[in-house]
Structure 1
Amino acid sequence: MHSLSRASSGSLSEGEGTWPIRRRKILDWLVIETRDERFIDNIFVEMCRRLSEAGVPVARATLHFRIHHPQWIGARILWRKGLSEAEIDTFEYGVEDTALYLNSPLYEINSGADEVRRRLDDPTVDGPQYSLYDELKADGLTEYIAWPLEHTLGKRHVVTFASDRPGGFDKDDIAFFQDLLPALALVSEIRLKNRLARTLLETYVGPHASEQILAGATTRGSGVTVGAAILICDLRDFTHLSGLWPRDDVIELLNGYFDAMSEPIERHGGEILKFMGDGLLAIFPLTNPMACTNLLRAIGEAEAALAKLNEENLGKGREPLGYGIGVHVGDVMYGNIGSRRRLDFTVIGPAVNIASRLEGLTKEIKRPVLLSGAFVEMAGCETELENLGAFPVRGVGEPIDVFAFTSDFPMSDKSAA
């Protein structure tokens, strides 16, 4: 690789030496001036635009990353000449077993190749004939080249460039790309790990808590008091079911159950703070004036999804799933609880305890959803519900009014509105 140092006699004029000034400026920009840009796709687009302006005949470029995400194994950032934004695609687990991937330059690079290069405008060139090459040639591209993008600890990703100039890239273009790769690897790794940290936090503690943690809320005991509608859900007879079914079937059952419950909660603005074995804890902050209504809608959609899931389970010869949901409203302490080295970002307080007691009460009363009088009063939905009377609740001095839905599903969108 060429040296990044400037000549001791002064700045180089255009065309002198190995590094023309415009190209050196691109490298300086990439290493020094991108520190305030969070997203690698924006950096990649700007880098490609600068390359093109400097005379490097780049018409198409891609970055391929393997990522740690519960849904996706990888992502591709695609830039085309003339575009001001990148196209970003994600790929689900299993794509690595498809013929499209196994018969591609990416597979070659990920299998250890240091370079994949192909002239597209020369039919006499030998080598693998991937379907990608036909697509690029149809787009008027003349040469394609792919290199590994090496991150620390042997993590390998892929960068590709394609030219539309007759004859493709020349040796100076290739030399410049190769000098650019270490800087691009460094810059992309920083952004990828920042994104990874955010993704992992969002995956395990939820989007709102992850924002708090990334903003510095990592001190034990730190937190705020917030008003919230609280929902606690628990799967019935899970211990019995898990003893009857194979492990993989049990995991599939739990995932289906959590999908049915979680997606409506998140869709309506709720925050799932934790999964507790076969249960979950979620809050709907009262900063949203529609919090209580949104919680009711989420329960309605979750019950419909669970009913559909039970139909599928019956079709597979499995027993239908039962559940209990307790709902309350009140102030909760929202923050870090735990030991010196292991913290949990969650909510605690009497309001959470009451929601938990109501969930437990569903087993005795044989109603799947129980709501406190305090929640019903705040939601203004008394006419939609059945007052079951006052019940003593452990840890609470006075009995509390308990309500249940009068029909199979909580509330229609019309009545909830």
Structure 2
Amino acid sequence: MPPDIDPAAALTENDVVRWLTTETRDQRFIDNLFAELCLRLQRAGIPLKRASLHLLIQHPQWLGARILWINGAQEATITRVDYDVTQRPEFIGSPVEEIQGGVSEIRERLDRDPAQGRKHGVYDELRAQGLTDYVAWPMLHTLGKKHMVAFSTDRVGGFDDAHIATLQRLLPLLALVSEIRMKNRLARTLLETYVGAHAGEMILAGATRRGSGATVRAAILICDLRDFTRISDSWPRDDVIDLLNDYFDAMSEPIARHGGEILKFMGDGLLAIFPLDEPKACANLLRAVTEARQAMAALNEKRAAGSAPLRYGIGVHVGDVMYGNIGSKARLDFTVIGPAVNMASRLEALTKQLGKPVLLSREFADLVASEFKLEHVGEHSVRGFAEPIELFAYHG
């Protein structure tokens, strides 16, 4: 609650409307906005004890989210909802399913004989909390997007007609302010999903012009799966997709966990950077490689008996790269380019020739040699570079 507002002061419905329309522009997060709305509704005479928002979101891991406010709380809690929730008992026959199915209002008098009401377990839970009345409505966004908002009270006799009318009048405003924040979050989520968190932040900050970017010193990692052409030619399509997803999970999760940023997936390969402005970036890259190799070993053990183990090559170098927007006038890619990226790519290709799954350049090895055990594998010619390159293998 803002410090200049007396939490004990009474409000009118018009005060709540004014706040929603003119005073929420600086509130980025829908959960905080919803909690404050509930507190203001209480001060406006609505006997709220519990309220929830049920939102369908576009996220690669979750179908939706529930934002729950409980009486007395200054903040709401957020629970993520998995895609398989629609097959679970907590969803089947629930208010959310009814609203998504086209019901325009749900009203459940919890203080009446349960046999006369709906049978879903959520009503028993609310009844056990001492609540007497429950109401839910669809919250409509543009392009047919439908979410749900629900309110409960413990007032004897439940909500009266004036309470219900006030809540209904506020629904369009709540839909408007929630959609704005969901669109903002969606934009951020999509950028994080498709270009990475750091690149997404730069794009949201205005780096959308072709050629815009910066020179960054970074450790570069390029990984590629071996024999993918043979696999993709001989395996069913869905099995190939599942295999790629498992492989990318094994490689990507350690990279993200240790501060790296995956800029692109390239067929069966990936490109990631660890900017050197982060302390111990190079050491973190090798820690990520260690965990990725362990994850790949576990994946190979899990695969069907008789399947050939998945093999891969990783090339690592360090240097200055141009980090920014490249492409056509209408279609851009946020990526890194430069000789350092080319070197990492060449080292990855050499892993097959030298039989070493992970190859490091001398420049990178010098930055981690005191902390990691490396194998010196001599100087080797690298396509596109005039002088032979001194290489090291890492077996961690």
The offset of 1:169, in angstroms, is 0.3
What is the rounded CA distance, in whole Å, between the counterparts of 2:381 and 2:114 in structure 1? 86
The 3 A distance-change label for structure 1 pair 68 and 382 is closer
What is the rounded CA distance, in whole Å, between the counterparts of 2:327 and 2:141 in structure 1? 34
What is the rounded CA distance, in whole Å, between the counterparts of 2:24 and 2:372 in structure 1? 58
1:319 aligns with 2:338: no
Aligned partners of 1:65 and 1:76 also within 8 Å: yes
2:333 maps to 344
Letter in 2 for 1:210: G
What is the rounded CA distance, in whole Å, between the counterparts of 1:346 and 1:73 in structure 2? 29
What is the rounded CA distance, in whole Å, between the counterparts of 2:38 and 2:330 in structure 1? 44
The offset of 1:381, in angstroms, is 4.2
1:14 maps to none
Aligned partners of 1:376 and 1:382 also within 8 Å: no
The offset of 1:246, in angstroms, is 1.4
1:288 aligns with 2:278: yes
What is the rounded CA distance, in whole Å, between the counterparts of 1:282 and 1:124 in structure 2? 57
**How do 1:244-323 residues align onto structure 2 when only pairs under 5 Å count?**
244-315=234-305, 317-323=306-312
The 3 A distance-change label for structure 1 pair 366 and 34 is same
The alignment yields a C-alpha RMSD, in angstroms, of 1.3
Deviates more, 1:191-200 or 1:288-297: 288-297
Deviates more, 1:121-130 or 1:46-55: 121-130
What CA deviation, in whole Å up to 9, does each residue of 1:297-329 have, x standing for no partner?
1111100000000001144x4321000000000
Aligned partners of 2:213 and 2:323 also within 8 Å: yes
Aligned partners of 1:314 and 1:320 also within 8 Å: no
What is the rounded CA distance, in whole Å, between the counterparts of 1:394 and 1:234 in structure 2? 17
The offset of 1:383, in angstroms, is 7.2
**Quick one: which of 351, 355, 376 aligns to 2:344?**
355
What is the rounded CA distance, in whole Å, between the counterparts of 2:157 and 2:167 in structure 1? 17
Gaps of 5+ in 2: 1-9
Letter in 2 for 1:379: V
1:33 maps to 23
Letter in 2 for 1:307: A
1:148 maps to 138
Letter in 1 for 2:330: R
Letter in 2 for 1:101: F
Aligned partners of 1:119 and 1:125 also within 8 Å: no
What CA deviation, in whole Å up to 9, does each residue of 1:14-42 have, x standing for no partner?
xxxxxx96111001101111011111111
**Quick one: which of 45, 57, 73 aligns to 2:47?**
57
1:202 maps to 192
1:89 maps to 79
Deviates more, 1:383-392 or 1:174-183: 383-392
What is the rounded CA distance, in whole Å, between the counterparts of 2:54 and 2:78 in structure 1? 10
The offset of 1:387, in angstroms, is 1.3
2:171 maps to 181
The offset of 1:253, in angstroms, is 0.6
Letter in 2 for 1:154: G
1:238 aligns with 2:228: yes
What is the rounded CA distance, in whole Å, between the counterparts of 1:178 and 1:286 in structure 2? 54
What is the rounded CA distance, in whole Å, between the counterparts of 1:216 and 1:46 in structure 2? 31
User: Could you say what secondary structure the match of 1:83 adopts?
Assistant: coil
User: Could you say what secondary structure the match of 1:387 adopts?
Assistant: strand
The offset of 1:98, in angstroms, is 1.7
What is the rounded CA distance, in whole Å, between the counterparts of 1:83 and 1:291 in structure 2? 40
2:361 maps to 372
2:388 maps to 399
**Quick one: which of 100, 106, 111 aligns to 1:110?**
100
Letter in 1 for 2:184: N
What is the rounded CA distance, in whole Å, between the counterparts of 1:76 and 1:319 in structure 2? 44
User: Could you say what secondary structure the match of 2:232 adopts?
Assistant: helix
Aligned partners of 2:108 and 2:118 also within 8 Å: no
What CA deviation, in whole Å up to 9, does each residue of 1:343-374 have, x standing for no partner?
00000000000000000011111111111011
User: Could you say what secondary structure the match of 1:263 adopts?
Assistant: helix
What CA deviation, in whole Å up to 9, does each residue of 1:129-156 have, x standing for no partner?
1101100010010000100001011110
User: Could you say what secondary structure the match of 2:317 adopts?
Assistant: strand
Gaps of 5+ in 1: 1-19, 411-417
Q: Report the TM-score, using the length of structure 2 for normalisation.
A: 0.95
What is the rounded CA distance, in whole Å, between the counterparts of 2:170 and 2:373 in structure 1? 65
**Quick one: which of 325, 330, 334 aligns to 2:323?**
334
What is the rounded CA distance, in whole Å, between the counterparts of 1:349 and 1:244 in structure 2? 36
Letter in 2 for 1:329: V
**Quick one: which of 26, 37, 49 aligns to 1:47?**
37
User: Could you say what secondary structure the match of 1:112 adopts?
Assistant: coil
The offset of 1:100, in angstroms, is 1.7
The offset of 1:289, in angstroms, is 2.7
Letter in 1 for 2:333: D
> Identity, % of aligned pairs?
63
Deviates more, 1:387-396 or 1:203-212: 387-396
What CA deviation, in whole Å up to 9, does each residue of 1:94-122 have, x standing for no partner?
11122220121111110000001010001
What is the rounded CA distance, in whole Å, between the counterparts of 1:124 and 1:367 in structure 2? 68
Aligned partners of 1:114 and 1:148 also within 8 Å: yes
**Quick one: which of 365, 387, 395 aligns to 2:376?**
387
The 3 A distance-change label for structure 1 pair 79 and 124 is closer
What is the rounded CA distance, in whole Å, between the counterparts of 2:371 and 2:63 in structure 1? 47
1:220 aligns with 2:213: no
Letter in 2 for 1:389: G
